[in-house]
Amino acid sequence: MTLERLPRVLLRLEGAAVAIGALALYAHADYSWLLLAILVLAPDLSAMGFLAGPRVGTLTYNAAHTTASPIVLGAIGVILPSETATAVALVWLIHIGFDRTVGYGLKYPSAFKDTHLNRI
């Protein structure tokens, strides 16, 4: 492996760790598998923003595919406590982690296929 590829590989491994870790916590908490099946692709609805153009699409997609929001939601769920908030946060992290693992990254406004990981 070349050093030029190393960051991309590390980001994909990090995504796998996020997805597997969130899935393990989800299973350990015995949350609903039906909820997981229903919500796991929900963040991809944010891609509909691209119907309004690349600027809006980039903003909506990236807002739904950064780990900051589900981490905050998960922390709120633990502190309140709210099992629903925690479960949704974990599903959201599973989605983001899986996306990173297979090479889908945050979008650039130049084109939907231009991501922080590579061009897909």
Closest by CA to 94, choosing from 24, 30, 7, 31, is 24
Residue 44's pLDDT is what? 97
Check residue 105 and give left, alpha or beta (phi > 0: left; psi -120 to 50: alpha): beta
| pLDDT tens-digit profile, the chain (120 residues) | 788 888 889 999 999 999 999 999 999 999 999 999 999 999 999 999 999 999 999 999 999 999 999 999 999 999 999 999 999 999 999 999 999 999 998 998 887 777 777 665
Neighbours of 82 (CB within 10 A): 15
Instruction: Tell the residue number behind the tokens 């231009």, with chain if given.
Output: 114
Q: For the chain, give every domain's residue range.
A: 6-115
Residues pairing with 114 in the sheet: 119
Residue 110's pLDDT is what? 86
Q: Both ends of the chain: CA-CA distance in Å? A: 20
